[in-house]
């Protein structure tokens, strides 16, 4: 589990690294170039107060994390070198457990529409595609994300 007032810088560094590994060719390069660990740390300070997060480690090194709030898995990232090793699956299942403990029978998440590896993973985890919307970058209105819903029973 990630701890408020302790793990924000670690999660921020991990998020920036994961975005830079996973999103070239998916996100515009100016977005990736503009990633800032300080700004991300501030965002995670808020996120860890309003939800719960988990960190995954391999050989004592952080390789992934997930965050959930209410019935939404807001974030799930794993370092590219650790894809296919069950880390993402374990993090997602922990997030689902938390959502279920909060009394929700369903969970959902949003993923970049062009992120084929993540979409394949969520479909393999029995996610059902239910919606599509713009990500919200004013300079990139065609950048879309899709929603997957999951039954927790």
Q: Is residue 2 part of a domain?
A: no
> The domain spanning residue 124 has which CATH number?
3.40.630.30
Mapped onto helix, strand or coil, the DSSP state of residue 123 is helix
- Distant-in-sequence, close-in-space partners of 135: CB < 8 Å, separation ≥ 6: 112, 143, 144, 145
* Number of compact structural domains in the chain: 1
Q: Is residue 124 part of a domain?
A: yes
pLDDT of 153 reads 83
Closest CA to 117 of 147, 142, 83: 83
Q: In terms of C-beta density within 10 A (0-12 exposed, 13-18 middle, 19 or more buried), how is residue 85 classed?
A: middle
Residue with tokens 């985890």: 125
Domain ranges, residue 84 = 8-151
Q: Is residue 65 part of a domain?
A: yes
Q: Is residue 1 part of a domain?
A: no
Angstrom distance (rounded) from CA 91 to CA 129: 20
Q: Is residue 111 part of a domain?
A: yes
> pTM above 0.75?
yes
Q: Is residue 3 part of a domain?
A: no
67-85: pLDDT as tens digits = 999 999 999 999 999 999 9
14-39: pLDDT as tens digits = 999 999 999 999 999 999 999 999 99
């Amino acid at each position: 589990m990630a701890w408020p007032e302790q793990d924000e810088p670690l999660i921020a560094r991990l998020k920036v690294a994961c975005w830079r590994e996973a999103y070239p060719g998916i996100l515009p390069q100016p977005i990736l170039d503009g990633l800032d660990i300080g700004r991300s740390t501030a965002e995670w300070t808020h996120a860890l107060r309003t939800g719960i997060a988990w960190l995954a480690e391999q050989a004592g090194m952080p390789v992934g994390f997930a965050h959930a709030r209410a019935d939404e898995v807001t974030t799930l990232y794993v370092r590219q070198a650790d894809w296919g090793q069950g880390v993402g699956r374990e993090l997602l299942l922990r997030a689902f457990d938390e959502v279920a403990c909060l009394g929700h029978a369903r969970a959902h998440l949003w993923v970049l529409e062009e992120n084929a590896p993540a979409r394949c993973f969520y479909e393999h985890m029995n996610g059902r595609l239910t919606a599509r919307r713009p990500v919200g970058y004013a300079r990139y209105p065609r950048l879309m994300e899709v929603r997957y819903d999951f039954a927790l029973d």
